[in-house]
Amino acid sequence: MKGYDKYIVAFSGGKDSISCFLHLLDIGIPKDKIELWHHDIDGREETFMDWEVTPDYCRKFAAAFGVPLYFSWKKGGFKREMLRENAYTQPNYFELPDGSIGVSKRGTRATKATRQKFPQISVDLSVRWCSSYLKIDVMTTAIRNQGRFLQRKVLVISGERGEESKARAAYEIHEPDRADLREGKKNWRIVDRWRPIRDWKEGRVWDIIERYRVRVHPCYYLGWSRCSCKFCIFGNADQFASAYTISPNQGDEIMMYEDSFGVTIKRNMTLRDLIALGRPYNDITPELARMATSQVYDQQIIFNDNEEWILPAGAYGESCGPM
């Protein structure tokens, strides 16, 4: 996969996106061609669904490896999109290399719509809008609206693995990205999508992370097997019970919106009842909970030579992820 001018890693801060980045280093991609892009699910608002520490964990990871990190987000994030009522979706914002902030404009085909409910648990991204509106569209917009990618070859790297679901197993490993503009245009850009770890098993993911001695996101040490939102819609009873143990105020707000909408996250059960069925993870400690809910990540990303690399408690657990 050499020969591109820029390599953009869709970087959640989770184990799979970390593995994608480390794999680029393994195959000899120069660091000065790599960028990490993180999409802030909650925008620049108060944390609603996600982990508070995730943005700073991503910052510290990028700094540890000496690569740039750019943030992008939808104005108002998850909550504002969820609360849409006969309104347009909000603009997307994205950081630029010069330190300024770019912003998308509403397209001519944009229409007003109403959500007033949580995303549905579905492979259909039109109803599982948290992925499409808060991640995929945000990245596409950021590429399309930056002139620095014109007349360049760009490779977007994402960490979907087929082991996680049948749908992901069917994804193409290499294909044109949605931001591609290679044919019949004066200002062309070649943008391809590469999923280098689609066929990796989880063991290979942890192997490369151990080899580079990376300290992963705190959620894995708490017992989570995936670094998605703290209150991810795909979570099971134990995961939601664990999230509520760590962040009861956040959980109460989500339950309040379920009551207000008259539509629950799981559709057939309230979050309150689901939490009652679950058991919090055994590895939740006050220190780990503090770390995961802090705005500042205060640990070293790379283990010292005299430290033992530790496989986190969430490794090889229930995936609770996309179908």
The verdict on residue 23 lying in a domain is yes
Q: What is the DSSP track for 248-277?
A: HHHHHHHHHHHHHHT--SSSSS-HHHHHHH
The verdict on residue 226 lying in a domain is no
Its domain, for residue 55, covers 6-203
pLDDT, tens digit, for every residue of 80-135? 999 999 999 999 999 999 999 999 987 656 799 999 999 988 888 888 999 999 99
| Per-residue tens of pLDDT for the chain, all 323 residues | 889 999 999 999 999 999 999 999 999 999 999 999 999 999 998 999 999 999 999 999 999 999 999 999 999 999 999 999 999 999 999 999 999 999 998 765 679 999 999 998 888 888 899 999 999 999 999 999 999 999 999 999 999 999 998 989 999 999 999 999 998 668 899 999 999 999 999 999 999 999 999 999 999 999 999 999 999 999 999 999 999 999 999 999 999 999 999 999 998 999 999 999 999 999 999 999 999 999 999 999 999 999 999 999 999 997 766 65
The verdict on residue 198 lying in a domain is yes
The C-alpha atoms of residue 207 and residue 212 are separated, in whole angstroms, by: 9
Q: What is the number of structural domains in the chain?
A: 1
The verdict on residue 53 lying in a domain is yes
The verdict on residue 252 lying in a domain is no
Residue 117: what residue type? K
CATH number for 31: 3.40.50
User: From its phi and psi, is residue 217 left (phi > 0), alpha (psi between -120 and 50) or beta?
Assistant: beta
* Confidence (pLDDT) at 1: 80
The C-alpha atoms of residue 246 and residue 167 are separated, in whole angstroms, by: 31
Number of H helices, E strands in the chain: 12, 8
The verdict on residue 259 lying in a domain is no
The verdict on residue 82 lying in a domain is yes
The verdict on residue 182 lying in a domain is yes
Q: What is the DSSP track for 138-151?
A: HHHHHHHT-GGGTT
